[in-house]
Amino acid sequence: MRTPLESPEDDSIRPFRVETTQEEIDDLHHRIDRTRPVPSVEDTQFHYGFNSCYLQKVVLYWRNDFDWRRQVDKLNQYPHFKTKIEGIDVHYIHAKPKNLPKGACSIPLMMVHGWPGSFYEFYGILPLLTEPRSPEDIAFEVICPSIPGYGYSEAPHKKGFDSVCAARVFLKLMKRLGFSQFYTQGGDWGSIITTNMAQLEPKIVKGLHINFAPPFKTNLTMLSSMLLGHYFPRLFGFTHHDITRIFPLGQKLIVNRLKESGYMHIQATKPDTAGRGLNDSPVGLAAYILEKFSTWTDHTFSNLEDGGLQMHFCLDDLLTNVMIYWTTSSIIPSMRLYKENLSQGLSPPYSKIPVLVSTGLAMFPNELVHTPELWARQNYQKLVNYTTMPRGGHFAAMEEPELMAQDIQKFVKIVEGKM
């Protein structure tokens, strides 16, 4: 029974458009103009972080050639909406097929981004999923929400909003949209959130597709494979790639992990301190975010003066993702998700809940954490498809949209009994 102080939640769905003003652009330019460049140490490429010489080139392009108004128009090519769930204004885009054959139905798919990405990561893959080229392929209607605290979704106001809370909010969103069953897909935090969705509502999440699967629990099988897998790879079903990514379990592997996890230690402990500087400096924010799009795409890019940034990504797309963080002042609340999750320890409560939903894992070769099929099966008990991808890194949907779309198609066809 509702108390007099309680009121029903506003469940209305409101259209939303991304907008900008000249004042917003002028403020950005003013802050860029007042940045203080610092020269890099000689012959350091990206080993000390974002190379200052190349950063100046990016900043000059951002200041003089990047057209934010044009990118805003691109963002608005798909319908945007907002709806309030658990007191938080949740933003999402809803892309539907335009040319469905008569009598055909689309399949609902929620795609969830991670950090330091956004819903914009999926703009390259959306047409491949909603308007497939082959008549034998499935046409999806895709819902891409912004995680609360990211981009155009409101930031949580109270501590404790972790991946499970985000999963609960997104389940309510899909129910509000009228879906009794649907598929999910995610990488980075998106993979954790969609996994939590499958754990919370295994009868509603029909299938889970992920491209990032760090083990959230260990058992005797995993431990023995770590100790003996290098010597008896066939016993554990390890491939050559598994062996090169996992072994040796010594100093080199530990050092490499530490090199790419410094940001996580900061964001899991004191996100508001570092975040305040990033929130005030567009150049600092760009360096912090874009450095991840370099080394997380291919760790060897740290040997290049330009970090290989434009080898797989368009600079306009990279800066659009940065602008989503900048114009919404969302870098600090986005970083807090690490604090909320990792404050629970290395074995969060959800790690004890089995994942019983049909799962597909696309394992890209340059992913930060490599997960062999054996390890994935310890966590995802109905792993129906494990694909060793031929190329690609952490931001797979943005870097390799064709490969990702193909693997999603394959996985859903398996679950739907069409393969």
Q: Where are the alpha helices (DSSP H) in 151-219?
A: 163-176, 189-200
d(CA 29, CA 44): 29
Catalytic choice (188, 242, 298, 407): 188
Q: Which amino acid would we find at residue 242?
A: D
Structural contact between residues 268 and 366, judged by C-beta atoms closer than 8 angstroms: no
Active-site annotation holds for 91: no
Q: Rounded to the nearest 5 degrees, what angle is found at the Cα of 220, between the Cα atoms of 216 and 226?
A: 80
d(CA 216, CA 166): 18
Q: What residues are paired with 83 via a beta bridge?
A: 13, 90
Element (H, E) at 387: strand 383-388
Q: Which amino acid would we find at residue 104?
A: A
Q: How far is CA 58 from CA 97, 114, 307, 366, 398, in A?
A: 36, 23, 12, 25, 20
Catalytic choice (91, 209, 312, 394): 394
Half-sphere exposure of 294 (CA within 13 A, CB side): 26
Catalytic choice (92, 183, 338, 350): 338
Active-site annotation holds for 394: yes
Active-site annotation holds for 338: yes
What 3-state DSSP class applies to 264?
A: helix
d(CA 288, CA 268): 16
What are the tokens at 387?
A: 């694909």
Q: What residues are paired with 15 via a beta bridge?
A: 81
Q: Which residues contact 163 (CB under 8 A, 6 or more apart)?
A: 189, 192, 193, 196, 337, 341, 350
The residues annotated with a catalytic role in the active site are 188, 338, 394
